[in-house]
Chain A
Amino acid sequence: MNSRLYGNLIFELSKEGRKGYSLPRNNFGDYEIPASMQRAEEAQLPECDELTVVRHYTNLSNNNFGVDTGFYPLGSCTMKYNPKINEEIAALPQFQNLHPLQPKSTVTGVRALMILLEKSLCALTGLAHFTFKPYAGAHGELTGLMTIDNYHRSRGDMQRKKVIVPDSAHGTNPASAAVCGLEIIEVKSDAHGLVDLVDLERLVELEGPSIAAMMMTNPNTLGLFETRIPEIAKLIHDCGGLMYYDGANLNPMLGASRPGDMGFDVMHINLHKTFSTPHGGGGPGSGPVGVREGLQEFFPTVSPYHGNFGVMMRAYAYILSLGCDQIKMVGPLATLNANYIKESLKDVYELPIDTMCCHEFVFDGLKDKSTGVTTMDVAKRLLDYGYHAPTIYFPLLFHESLMIEPTENESKETLDGFIAVMRQIAEEAKTDPDLVKSAPHTTPIGRVDDVLAAKHPVVTYRQLKNEIMK
């Protein structure tokens, strides 16, 4: 794309008197909106013809990178392929025009679909009931914690306000707990990257009667399976707490182990991760919450209708496509892909915990730290070679975290190509470190000035115009 020709904002393409719409004629006669109701200042929206709009957004899309563009090993985000059939299904007109408040008798098809999807999720997780109200993963976490809080409140157990999370947890875990009015206690990781059982026992001893829940991902954010999960669950249950499963890392467990069998009571699923619905540049997602029998009466009302129904349709189409025979292959294949990359690169990148991983693993930057090339530099250099960067600087356990998740959909050739480039970058770091430190070189824009953006926020076109006036 030529950014000189097409790099404008839509506002900069606007010309008074142009229109990109067509509306029905007014057959209702003269109904004037009273002036007292009306806004004084017009909304300064753009005025463009249809082709200008289409070309503008088509060109914008060319400045983006998606799973369909290339390999997207963004750790913890499960950037798997988003099947095209699912898009067609979600667009079926028999679903598009349904009002969420229309009577049950007129929506038997959607109700059947929701029941079938709930049953499928129960089968896959070993839990008994799901609510589809949560709109996203973080919203699911909040819903799950509210469910737990409601449960303790119902028993008059009002002092249970603490949630144990591992120090490797996703940032949303502590934030969701805070929004739920709960307090976080962190449990340390041991030398193997797993929950430190001694530390956990200490916390349970100390805080037992105030523990509402323990919140975990399994495998954890290092991609490691918490092997002592049955003991952890017993510890928490014995002190009266519940076990919460953050479903962010559910993908490698398909065909391997179910959260319900591991001892979890409440969980959320990111349908946009494990069940292949598109990430859409950051939403819409869907974060259904599942519970053990008896806890469903504590589900809170976190949204008015039935959640992101369009996302649910896509997820169910994916589950049906794979069926019981193929879905159990998802976990093993994702796990094999991750281990293959890990083993192929661990001689040049620092692998702090050298053991079998699940769907993802974390390097602590380059093995040779003498070059001064950081994880940020490696990530930016990957963009030059046509790959999306892995998740960087998370988890916080290491200084130079580089978190790689390939998913089950990537071929050996794709992985080999990525491995070769990662090795090439490690080599460049030694021979020409400045080349890596100044990357990317081939992208539409170079590295951006984050500090400028934050120091002096310009977040609307109106502010931008005022800036120019100054």
Chain B
Amino acid sequence: MNYKYFPQTEEDLKAMMAKAGVEKLDDLYAQIPESIRFKGNYELPMSMCEQEVRQLFEKLGKENRQLTCFAGMGVYDHYTPSVIPSLLQRSEFLTSYTPYQAEISQGTLHYIFEYQSMMAELTGMDISNASMYDGTTACAEAMMMAVAAGKKVNKVLVTGCMNPLTFEVLETYALHQGIELEVLPIRDGTTCLDDVKARLAEGGVAGVILQQPNIYGIVEDFTGFADACHEQKALLIIDSVASDLAVLKTPGEWGADIAVGDGQSLGIPMLFGGPYVGYMCCTEKLIRKMPGRIVGMTKDSRDQRAFVLTLQAREQHIRRQKATSNICSNQSLMALFVTIYLSLMGKQGLKEAAKLSYAGAHYLCDELLKTGRFHLAFDKPFFNEFYVKYDGDADTLYQRFIEEGILGGIRLEEGFLFAVTEKRTKEEIDNLVKIAAL
């Protein structure tokens, strides 16, 4: 025996087996039919010491190229303040589970309440749940929520300017739920209100899903969309990049019923796709239709302020197949990440970072246009991401960027989708432009 994660000594084992009424460990599985007992050796290497495990990962790590990131499309290279990883390693947070026992889980419940408060502020909505897996599944849950809230309607309209990766996830859920997805046409890089109105008038629509900024980085004008939806009893869902909401008009201000998106842009490392955190906020009216955990304020037996998981009658462990969703746990630790990020950045810092990203992106765009080889695909306002067409061979240029240690945006259609965050310096941008101008 004698392995670092297995504390029992030979003597312990002997005493415990005697209590359990077996002579050897194997007897514990006497009830398993012989035909399905696994008696061989797993096809795995022999156990490694800590040093060997570390070396193996370091070697694998070196096989990845470290690139200066100008890519976005939903995942952005923002800076992570040192405070966050350090606090996230507090093992009382890290090694706990869902706060079922409120008396010894006030730490988790307290920060989730703060998280909900901050996300409601950021999105301009009444309330928030305790988090979702990521932005795409949050959007899918919102789609199902709209259908469940509607009365025997199962059609959902989706902007044509949606991130195709989000759309693919929506399609998956819609297929199995029997939801009919209808994609709205793209008009000059944006969603057109008249298209929405015309389809709403046909009836049967439970919800409309928009994206801000959209797939081309364009900041759309959603004036009139909420009224059009509400006239036809459809819910308006807006999927936004969380960090941009520091300055952009909010889903709440546009009149959305549900706001969803990914919180990755709030300083969460890209880490090849996760873990991130999805957010979902909605109007007070919809609170009992919302999926996921919700933390509420209450009092304890000593009349102290306390926090607790609430409205659990919506959830799977009570309602089983009648639950609002099958989601069980959320992304609690990543919700803590976002909560600490927003506490540090605060009212001013979040805006400043957003303005820096805006300035950097517009500077890059201007410089690229000056080369004469790029032009903006649409004459529309953008935030920190934009789509430019390129008059040369885009694949070759993309490859050249890589060779120079640059992740030169996302190759999109006839050009590039570039994103800039507060992390990108003027030197890095100038260097990209220099290569692009060759």
Contact = CB atoms under 8 A, between A and B. Distances in A.
A7 B124 CA distance: 26
Contact of A94 (B64, B350, B363, B407): B64
Given A45-B346, A227-B33, A446-B302, A304 B168 contact: yes
Contacts of A256: 29, 32, 37-38
B81 interface: yes
B183 interface: no
B274 A409 contact: no
Contacts of B348: 19, 47
B316 A68 contact: no
Nearest to B79: A23
Interface in B119-153: 120-122, 124, 126-128, 130-131, 133-134, 136-137, 144
Contact of B270 (A77, A98, A282, A459): A98
B263 to A, nearest CB: 12
B114 A9 contact: yes
B95 A68 contact: yes
Given A37-B381, A100-B270, A87 B89 contact: yes
A65 B299 contact: no
B296 interface: yes
B97 A79 contact: yes
A398 interface: no
B16 A340 contact: yes
Interface stretch (B192-200, B203-211, B226-234, B287-295): B287-295
A305 B320 contact: no
A156 interface: no
A136 interface: yes
A356 interface: yes
Interface residues of A, number: 194
Interface string B303-346: 01110101111011111111101111111111010011011111
A10 B345 CA distance: 13
B347 A42 contact: yes
A418 interface: no
A277 B343 CA distance: 27
Interface in A50-90: 50, 53-54, 56-58, 60-69, 72, 74, 77, 79, 81-83, 85, 87-89
Interface stretch (A234-242, A317-325, A365-373, A425-433): A317-325
Nearest to B362: A31
Given A281-B333, A332-B28, A336-B13, A453 B323 contact: no
Most buried by A among B85, B94, B98, B323: B94
Contacts of B50: 85, 321
Nearest to A384: B103
Interface string A411-423: 1100000000000
Interface in B363-389: 363, 381, 383
A95 B64 contact: yes
Given A325-B47, A459-B113, A310 B275 contact: yes
B294 to A, nearest CB: 6
Nearest to A116: B60
B358 interface: yes
A58 B46 contact: no
Interface string A109-139: 1101100000110011010000000011111
Interface in A367-391: 379-380, 383, 388-389
A470 interface: no
A394 interface: yes
A101 B116 contact: no
Given A256-B37, A409-B5, A305 B128 contact: no
Contacts of B187: none
Contacts of B287: 457, 459
Contacts of A110: 60, 64, 272
Contacts of A327: 42, 44
A459 B171 CA distance: 32
A255 B212 CA distance: 50
B438 interface: no
A96 interface: yes
Most buried by A among B13, B101, B168, B331: B101
Contacts of B171: 301
Nearest to A394: B317
A332 B327 CA distance: 31
A39 B328 contact: no
A301 B172 contact: yes
Contacts of B383: 37
B162 interface: no
A343 B273 contact: no
B91 A452 contact: no
Contact of B94 (A36, A82, A302): A82
A106 interface: yes
A422 B229 CA distance: 58
A141 interface: yes
A462 interface: yes
A230 to B, nearest CB: 6
29 contacts: A21-B81, A27-B426, A29-B363, A43-B121, A43-B124, A60-B106, A64-B96, A65-B105, A68-B92, A81-B5, A94-B58, A97-B269, A98-B270, A99-B407, A101-B71, A105-B402, A126-B38, A135-B133, A135-B331, A138-B327, A300-B172, A303-B169, A306-B274, A309-B272, A412-B16, A449-B301, A450-B310, A454-B312, A462-B120
Closest 9 CB pairs of A and B: A305-B273, A94-B61, A323-B47, A280-B333, A64-B107, A109-B63, A66-B95, A100-B273, A284-B275
